[in-house]
Structure 1
């Protein structure tokens, strides 16, 4: 079984059925045992990061944003460590810019502090001299699917998913809590969830289908460790686009297969970049060529490569847990100085 083809399939969507590795093996002309063995090997080699549900932050009612802080270099590691203690911080990086600390944060709808007050608290605690709150104004693409089978396709179609209104039950929330956990490779990896919930497979998969159709779950898939998978050149490239054509340019940017994330965000005084693209490549040379091709097509006024210098934190947020409420507890009702 070819590992590149295997990784391409599981990134697209891990089978939601009783014996998913058998399904994968059937698709790839192999055996269930070989599929489980290959998955386990790739997990041990830290090429596979996690297989679980990818839930939609906004659809679940969470408030989220990309945030940029300017912090004294001598205090940067300490500041990043404190920010990373927040359970809603999923990504936290040192980047090559005057705004040197960049992180994403999400808080539940009933957060005691709320998003803006939480970011303000973090800024004060780490003594950030400047800060930018950069929430998503429009999302064009969010889909991390690395080209592991070397298809080298420059463009891809970005499909829009139709959302069907679904009324969530207590069982839906219980299932979301389960499918956020990393999958264990075995013949029936969903069996422990079934047993814990006390339901059968039919109801389990029907509820997951509800979550997908309702837009609460974007997909159930495998996420890779970019560098271990051979994609050593990764950069956040930001673009200065005219507001009148920003959505058109964003749509074009999202079509590039090397782009995993593409968002429109607000501009700030001294920060004219409103289109954010995360680009993955197997080399710096390839990354440069992709950026050059994008620049030629997008008709943006300017762009800047926000190179990552250090990764402080990269996790999948756990929704509907008590962790964030516990983190907020010491700060409720207090005035920061």
Structure 2
């Protein structure tokens, strides 16, 4: 039952008055039993967070993956982590040794490139490359406790129902970003603060999903604690004319959680980026070799993370973005 619960939590956490009761019904057990298991996963550090996963671009933020070449990596990482739009920051085994993702607010006075310039100057980066997403093929962090290996899956492409966000939606976005408590009614604070009922909460959360603003409300695991001790950023040098076709093929592998097409530079020929997960380094490399046989790249390489400096959700529409720019933006 624990494996089934882990799978359900990663797929979609119910937004309703008694979500743990709804999960219990699916598992044919009691609400308290599900809560006990959930609390255990939290206490053991297997669950990192359960909250809304929003789409940065749909909310009007500009974002990118960035790679720095630095000498004093601890000092550089510490400063980069001060930016509220930095969600991931890792040391990787490459001359470009510090890799982070950053987002800047829709009304940022600096903008993305200038913000990266400020970060590079203050962290003494010798060299850097900005790698925004040109095309996203997949973003789906869903680890299967039974293993994923070379299995393939169909990547769903959802049609968006566009609409303008209202003040209620902005307030809902702020509240649904928070990690839920392991209690019978974890959304009680949301409905109380917004002065709405649970039906309205569920309806408007669904609208945010249909509009593409929210990808899903779900649980994110700590990979290593969940038994997936290995993951690698694998970058591929592929024929530009076939890049989109190749990206679709790579994204189909279940072990691949992220797959993007990004720009190249004279010192960086790799346009296709993928994150591959496994229960061991050998398992990861077995999947990558299988992918290489299928797509026949010109070249590819592994970028293993050697240290995690930051991994947390961005707090969208937070004053912290404006405070950072006032402090460091000149």
Aligned to 2:37: 38
| Residue of structure 2 in register with 1:198 after alignment | 195
Query: TM-score, structure 2 length as denominator?
Result: 0.98
Q: Return the match for 1:134 from 118, 124, 131.
A: 131
- 2:64 is matched with which residue? 65
For 1:252-278, what per-residue CA distance to the aligned partner results, in whole angstroms no more than 9, with x for missing partners? 000000111000000011211000000
Query: CA offset at residue 185 of structure 1?
Result: 1.4
Deviations 1:77-105 (A, max 9, x none): 10111001111000001110010110000
The answer as to 2:163 corresponding to 1:169 is: no
Judge conservation of contact 1:51–1:221 (CA < 8 Å) in 2.
yes
- Whether 1:144 aligns to 2:141 is yes
Find the residue that maps to 2:153 and give its secondary structure: coil
Deviations 1:164-191 (A, max 9, x none): 0112110011111110000111111111
On the 8 A contact 2:258/2:275 being kept in 1, the answer is yes
Note if contact 1:249-1:299 (Cα within 8 Å) is conserved in structure 2.
Answer: no
Residues 1:20 and 2:19 are matched in the alignment:
yes
Quote the Cα distance in structure 1 between the aligned partners of 2:68 and 2:143.
Answer: 29
Alpha-carbon contact 2:149-2:283 (below 8 Å) kept: no
Could you tell me how far apart the structure 1 residues matched to 2:149 and 2:89 are?
29
Using the TM superposition, give the Cα deviation of residue 206 of structure 1 relative to its aligned residue in structure 2, in angstroms.
Answer: 1.2
The counterpart of 1:315, out of the listed 296, 312, 316, is 312
How far, CA to CA, are the matches of 2:265 and 2:151 in structure 1?
A: 32
- The SS at the match of 1:309 is strand
Residues 1:282 and 2:279 are matched in the alignment: yes
Aligned counterparts of 1:319 and 1:58: Cα–Cα separation in 2: 11
Per-residue deviation, 1:153: 6.2
Q: Is 294-303 or 224-233 further displaced after alignment?
A: 294-303
Match for residue 208 of structure 1 among 205, 209, 230: 205
2-structure distance, mates of 1:318, 1:298: 38
Helix, strand or coil: the match of 2:101? strand
Q: Which stretches in structure 2 are left out of the alignment for 5+ residues?
A: none
Deviation at 1:149, TM superposition (A): 3.7
Query: Are the counterparts in 1 of residues 150 and 287 from structure 2 also a CA contact under 8 Å?
Result: no
Secondary structure of the 2:240 match is coil
Is 1:95 the counterpart of 2:92? The answer is yes
Q: Secondary structure at the match of 1:244?
A: helix
Aligned length: 330
Contact in 2 for aligned 1:6/1:28 (Cα 8 Å): yes
User: Equivalences for 1:197-236 in 2 at 5 Å?
Assistant: 197-236=194-233
Q: CA RMSD in A?
A: 1.0
Q: Deviations over 1:283-324 (max 9, x none)?
A: 111111111111111121110000111110000101011001
SS at match of 2:241: coil
Unaligned runs of 5+ in 1: none
Pick closer, same or farther for the CA change 1:152–1:69 going to 2, 3 Å.
closer
Paired residue secondary structure (1:245): helix
Tell me the distance in 1 between the aligned counterparts of 2:6 and 2:150.
16
The residue that corresponds to 1:245 in the other structure is: 242
Distance, in Å, in 2 between the alignment partners of 1:26 and 1:330 is: 51
TM-score by length of 1: 0.96
| Counterparts in 2 of 1:310 and 1:108: CA distance versus 1, 3 Å | same
Aligned 8 A contact 1:5 1:149 in 2: no
- Check whether the contact 1:25–1:32 (CA below 8 A) recurs between aligned residues: yes
